[in-house]
Amino acid sequence: MLLFESDDREVLTGIEVWRCRDEAADIRFLLEGIDVFRAPAEELPEVLEEREHEVVESDYGFEEVTDLGLRFANNSSLEYPVDEEGDPLYYDYVLVMDGT
């Protein structure tokens, strides 16, 4: 699912991308060749940091890639695979923010 954001309905300020319910669907969000929705959420921040991107955890549970204007989360109510602690294994949400 895509959702376009605008503060004043004239300027695009962000795009929200939600992982689809169908695991087999051929829909991907690629970042430097990495499928964000299928890369292990535990490993993705480390991979991005190895590529010299700053990844910080926000107060709201998002992982933010500050230099790229991206936020990742894994907080939907859909039933996705989880680890032993109940945390989702993959991100299910990306926000592409206006960099200005």
pLDDT digits (tens, 9 = 90+) for 33-88: 999 988 998 899 999 999 999 999 887 778 999 899 999 988 665 667 778 887 78
Q: Which domain holds residue 20?
A: 2-97
H-helix segments, 1-100: 44-50
Closest CA to 36 of 99, 94, 96, 95: 94
Q: Please tell me the pTM assigned to this model.
A: 0.76
CA-CA distance, 82 to 21, in Å (whole number)? 15
pLDDT in tens, 6-28: 677 777 778 888 876 666 667 78
The one-letter amino acid at 97:
M
Please give the tally of structural domains in the chain. 1
